[in-house]
Structure 1
Amino acid sequence: MTVEIMLVLAVVVAALVLFATQWLPVDITALLVLLVLMVIPFVGQASWLQDRGIDLPSAFPTVAEGLSGLSNPATVTVLAMFMLSAGVQASGLIHVVANRLAPLIGSSELRLVVVIGVVVGLLSGFINNTAAVAVAMPMVIDLTRRLGLRASRILMPLSFFAQLGGMLTLIGTSTSILASSLLREEQAFGRDLRMFEFSALGALGLGVGLLYFVTVGRLLLPSRDEGAGAEDGEQTFLVELMVPGDSDLVGQTLAEAEFEARAGVDVVRLSRDAAPARSGAPAAGQDAGRADRDPDEVTVEAGDVLLVRATPIQVMDLADSETVQVVSDLVSRRRITPDDDSTLVRVLLKDRRWFNGRAARDVDLAGRVGGRLVGVEMARPRADRLAEERLHVGEIVLVQVPTRSLERLRRRPEIILLDEFDNDFGTRQMWIAGSVLAGVVGVAALTPLPIVVSALVGVVVMVLTGVLRKEDMYPSVSWDVIFLLAGMIPLGIALTKSGAADGAASLLSDAASGWHPLVVLLALYLATTILTELVSNNATVVIAIPVAVALADSLGIDVLAVALVVIFAASTSFLSPIGYQTNTMVFGTGLYRFTDFAKVGAPLNILLMGLTCVAVWWWLLT
Structure 2
Amino acid sequence: MTVEIGIVLGIILLAVILFVTDRLSMDTVALLTMVLFMVTGILTPAEGFAGFSNPATITVGAMFIISSAIFKSGVLNSVGTSLTRIGRNSYLLCLLALMLISGALSAFINDTAVVALLMPVVIQVSRDIRVSPAKLLIPLSFGALLGGICTLIGTSTNILVSGIAQAQGLEPLRMFEFLPAGIIFLVVGVVYMFLLGRHLLPDRKHTESLSEEFNLGDYLTEIVLLPNSPLVGVPLQRSSLVRDLDIEVMQVLREKERLQVFPALILRANDVLKVRIGVEKLKKLKQQQGVILKSERRFRDEDVGMYDSMLYEAIVTPNSYMGGKSLKELNFRAYNYGASVLAIRHRDEIVHDRLAHVKLSAGDVLLIAANSDQAEKLRQNNDILIISQTVRSNFDYTKIVPVLLISVGVVLAAATGLVPIVLSAMVGAVVLVIFGCIKPKEAYNAIDWKVIFMLGGVLSMGAALEKTGAAKLLAEYLILGAGEHGPHVLLSAFFFITFMTTNFMSNNATAALLAPIAIVTAQELGVSERPFIMAVAYAASLSFMTPVGYQTNTMIYSPGNYRFSDYLKVGTPLNLLLWLLASLIIPYFFPF
Q: Structure 1 CA distance, aligned partners of 2:253 and 2:63?
A: 44
Q: CA deviation at 1:516?
A: 3.4
| Aligned residue number for residue 44 of structure 2 | 62
Larger Rg: 1
Deviations along 1:476-525, whole A, 9 cap, x unmatched? 22222111101010111000000000000011112223203322222111
- Quickly say closer, same or farther: Cα 1:560–1:416, change in 2 above 3 A: closer
- Segment of structure 1 superposing worse, 432-441 or 492-501: 432-441
Return the TM-score normalized by structure 2: 0.70
Q: Structure 2 CA distance, aligned partners of 1:607 and 1:23?
A: 32
| Pairing 1:151–2:133 present | yes
The unaligned stretches of length 5 or more in structure 2 are 214-249, 260-298, 313-336, 338-370, 380-391
- Quickly say closer, same or farther: Cα 1:551–1:27, change in 2 above 3 A: same
Q: CA deviation at 1:466?
A: 3.4
CA contact (8 A) 1:229 1:589 kept: no
2:202 maps to which of 222, 232, 251: 222
Q: CA deviation at 1:350?
A: 7.8
1:597 maps to which of 567, 570, 580: 567
Q: CA deviation at 1:379?
A: 5.8
Q: Structure 2 CA distance, aligned partners of 1:424 and 1:466?
A: 16
- Quickly say closer, same or farther: Cα 1:355–1:35, change in 2 above 3 A: same
Deviations along 1:38-65, whole A, 9 cap, x unmatched? 1111xxxxxxxxxxxxxxxxxx222112
- Quickly say closer, same or farther: Cα 1:130–1:557, change in 2 above 3 A: farther
Deviations along 1:117-174, whole A, 9 cap, x unmatched? 1111011110122222222222222332333322101111111111110011001111
| Pairing 1:40–2:40 present | yes
Q: Structure 1 CA distance, aligned partners of 2:567 and 2:311?
A: 39
1:529 maps to which of 483, 486, 499: 499
Query: How do residues 297-316 of structure 1 correspond to structure 2 at under 5 angstroms?
Result: none
| Aligned residue number for residue 115 of structure 1 | 97
| Aligned residue number for residue 96 of structure 1 | 78
| Aligned residue number for residue 14 of structure 1 | 14
Q: CA deviation at 1:349?
A: 8.5
| Aligned residue number for residue 300 of structure 1 | none
1:210 maps to which of 160, 168, 190: 190
Question: For residue 571 of structure 2, what is the amino acid of its counterpart?
Answer: G
Return the TM-score normalized by structure 1: 0.67
Question: For residue 106 of structure 1, what is the amino acid of its counterpart?
Answer: R
Q: CA deviation at 1:103?
A: 2.3
| 1:485 match: secondary structure | helix
1:82 maps to which of 61, 64, 72: 64
Query: How do residues 104-503 of structure 1 correspond to structure 2 at under 5 angstroms?
Result: 104-187=86-169, 190-227=170-207, 352=254, 355-356=257-258, 380-381=301-302, 395=309, 417-418=373-374, 419=376, 424-503=394-473
What percentage of aligned pairs have identical amino acids?
38
Q: CA deviation at 1:382?
A: 7.0
Q: Structure 2 CA distance, aligned partners of 1:229 and 1:31?
A: 44
Q: Structure 2 CA distance, aligned partners of 1:531 and 1:129?
A: 20
Q: CA deviation at 1:614?
A: 0.2
CA contact (8 A) 1:195 1:445 kept: yes
Q: CA deviation at 1:179?
A: 0.3
Q: Structure 1 CA distance, aligned partners of 2:475 and 2:542?
A: 23
Question: For residue 122 of structure 1, what is the amino acid of its counterpart?
Answer: A
CA contact (8 A) 1:349 1:416 kept: no
| 1:171 match: secondary structure | coil
| Pairing 1:513–2:513 present | no
| Aligned residue number for residue 3 of structure 2 | 3
Q: Structure 2 CA distance, aligned partners of 1:470 and 1:352?
A: 44
Question: For residue 171 of structure 1, what is the amino acid of its counterpart?
Answer: I
**Cα root mean square deviation, aligned:** 2.9
CA contact (8 A) 2:133 2:559 kept: no
- Segment of structure 1 superposing worse, 27-36 or 80-89: 80-89
The unaligned stretches of length 5 or more in structure 1 are 42-59, 234-347, 358-377, 384-388, 399-409
Q: CA deviation at 1:198?
A: 1.7
Q: Structure 2 CA distance, aligned partners of 1:230 and 1:170?
A: 40
- Quickly say closer, same or farther: Cα 1:525–1:473, change in 2 above 3 A: same
Deviations along 1:213-259, whole A, 9 cap, x unmatched? 1101111111113449989x9xxxxxxxxxxxxxxxxxxxxxxxxxx
- Segment of structure 1 superposing worse, 462-471 or 593-602: 462-471
CA contact (8 A) 2:98 2:140 kept: yes
